[in-house]
Structure 1
Amino acid sequence: MIELLNPVERTALLTAALRAAETKREDRLYEDPYAARLCGDAGTELLAEVRAATFPPDRPRSLPSTPDYNAIRTRFFDEFLRGAAEDPGMTQIVLAPSGMDSRAYRMDWPAHISYFEVDRPAVLKFKADRLEGVPPRVAHRTVAVDLTADDWEHRLIDSGYDPAMPSTWLLEGLLYYIPEPDTHRMLERVAAVSAPGSRIAADLVNTAALTLPHMRGLLDVFAGWGCPWLFGSDEPEALFARFGFDVVAAQPGDPGADFDRWPDPVPARDVKDVRRVFFVHGRRR
């Protein structure tokens, strides 16, 4: 089945491998009991490549710590989704794309939540096979469609999604890999089916992270896998505002996005030529 996953989709196996490794830590920021079965040997191999690039044995680390970053990202978005679900007026959560995410299975959800996972048929089939016999903890619906398709919104609605009701969207691990026009189109399409008051969260890098020489080691790994990083934004608040979302952007290590794990300095937003990652979160106007 893994041969049916394209290069970007295989990065979901890397994320699962990182979550499996985090789950083994005594100081873990969350527990994902399904990550190991989702990542398999392929995810473990991808993680080994990233570790070799990030933690070279012959010199100090100059790249961001991928394990710490991923742990913080997962915990941050866990809390974002949990907080959204606690709102009695929030009845719909959408993961687009869903990849190898197991939040529907590992987290407790209120009874009023409908939980939608959108991804290509091959991805959803791969995950279903790996999680065979594991029941979701929420009213769970999969939408087997490519997010580049012209009709994915209609397929989502056909699965029970109501665009007139508030929803919560998580675009995790997506915007790095799609060109700027496609990012704009994605946000435009999400906004078009999100009622006022809907929530959104996503992660993305700044533009310097795509070009700085000391980032080459990590960038080359992803490019070698066939999924280069293509998009970054220095002004994520303005990017999302253009499509009707009022958001804030936190960097790993900021208050609320640290969890005593981020090992590096957090540069002020006005400092130029430094790599950044943003956790964007906010609401639809």
Structure 2
Amino acid sequence: MTASLDAVERTALLTAALRAAESKRPDRLYEDPHAAALAGDIGPELLAEVIRATFPPGRERTIPSTPDYNAIRTRFFDDYLRAAAEDQDTTQIVLAPAGMDSRAYRLDWPERVRWFEVDRPAVLAYKAERLGATEPRTDHRTVAVDLTEPDWEARLEAAGYDPAVPSTWLLEGLLYYVPAPDAHRVLERVAAISAPGSRIAADIVNAAALTLPHMRGLLDVFSGWGCPWLFGTDEPEELFDRHGFDVRATQPGEAGADFGRWPDPVPPRSERDVRRVFFVHGRRR
């Protein structure tokens, strides 16, 4: 089944491997009991490549610590989604793409919530095989479709999504893998089927992260796999504003996105030519 996943789809196995490794730490920020099964044999191999690039033997690390970043990202969005679910008006949560995410299986959710996972057919088929008889803890619905296809909105609605009701969207590990026009198009389409007051969250890198020489080691790994990073922005608030969302952008290491784990300085937004990652979160106007 793993052989049916393409390069971009396999990055979901990397994320699962990172979550499996985090779950073994005594100071873990979360516990994902399904991550190791979802990572399979390929995930740890991908992680080993990233670790070699991130922590080169005998040389100072210049690349962001991928394990710490992923741990913070996962915990940040765990907390974000759980806070959204506490709102009595929250009845639908959409993960697009879903990848190897197991939040529907490892966290508890109110009975009123419908949980939608949107991803390519090969990803969802692999995930279902690896999870086996494991039952989700929510009203869980999968939508097997690529986000670039012309009819994914209709497929989502056919699964029970109601565009007239406020929703919560998580676009995790997506935007830097697509060209700028596709990133804009995804946000435009999500906005079009999100009622006013809907929540959105996403992660995105800045433009410099795609070109800085000291990022080359990590960028080359992803390019070598056939899934280069293609899009970044220094103004994430403006990007989402163009599509009808009022958002904040939080960097790992800042208040609410640290959890005692971010190992690097957090440069002020006014500083140029430095690598950044943003956790974007806000609402549809």
Give, in angstroms, the shift of residue 213 of structure 1: 0.2
Q: Find runs of 4+ consecutive structure 1 residues off by over 6 angstroms.
A: none
Match of 1:76 in 2: 76
Query: How do 1:82-121 residues align onto structure 2 when only pairs under 5 Å count?
Result: 82-121=82-121
Match of 2:194 in 1: 194
Task: Report the residue type matching 1:239 in the other structure.
Answer: L
Q: What count of residue pairs does the alignment treat as equivalent?
A: 285
Kindly indicate whether residue 22 of structure 2 is the aligned counterpart of residue 22 of structure 1: yes
Match of 1:150 in 2: 150
| Deviations, residues 239-261 of structure 1 (Å, cap 9, x unaligned) | 00000000000000000000000
Question: Structure 2: which 5+ residue stretches go unaligned?
Answer: none
Give, in angstroms, the shift of residue 120 of structure 1: 0.9
Task: Report the residue type matching 2:260 in the other structure.
Answer: D
Distance 2:191 2:123 in 1: 25
Task: Report the residue type matching 2:278 in the other structure.
Answer: F
Q: Per the alignment, in what secondary structure is the counterpart of residue 260 of structure 2?
A: coil
Distance 2:60 2:158 in 1: 52
Q: Per the alignment, in what secondary structure is the counterpart of residue 90 of structure 1?
A: coil
Query: How do 1:82-231 residues align onto structure 2 when only pairs under 5 Å count?
Result: 82-231=82-231
Identity of aligned residues (%): 76
Q: Per the alignment, in what secondary structure is the counterpart of residue 82 of structure 1?
A: helix
Q: Per the alignment, in what secondary structure is the counterpart of residue 258 of structure 2?
A: coil
Match of 2:4 in 1: 4
Give, in angstroms, the shift of residue 47 of structure 1: 0.1
Match of 1:56 in 2: 56
Task: Report the residue type matching 1:39 in the other structure.
Answer: A
Match of 1:13 in 2: 13
Query: How do 1:240-279 residues align onto structure 2 when only pairs under 5 Å count?
Result: 240-279=240-279
Task: Report the residue type matching 2:174 in the other structure.
Answer: L
Distance 1:176 1:11 in 2: 12
Q: Per the alignment, in what secondary structure is the counterpart of residue 147 of structure 1?
A: coil
Give, in angstroms, the shift of residue 119 of structure 1: 0.6
Task: Report the residue type matching 1:122 in the other structure.
Answer: A
Question: Structure 1: which 5+ residue stretches go unaligned?
Answer: none
Q: Per the alignment, in what secondary structure is the counterpart of residue 3 of structure 1?
A: helix
Q: Per the alignment, in what secondary structure is the counterpart of residue 115 of structure 1?
A: strand
Q: Per the alignment, in what secondary structure is the counterpart of residue 281 of structure 2?
A: strand
Give, in angstroms, the shift of residue 3 of structure 1: 1.5
Distance 1:26 1:231 in 2: 35
Distance 2:38 2:20 in 1: 9
Task: Report the residue type matching 2:142 in the other structure.
Answer: T
With the length of structure 2 as denominator, give the TM-score of the two structures: 1.00
| Deviations, residues 203-256 of structure 1 (Å, cap 9, x unaligned) | 000000000000000000000000000000000000000000000000000000
Distance 1:4 1:164 in 2: 36
Q: Per the alignment, in what secondary structure is the counterpart of residue 69 of structure 1?
A: helix
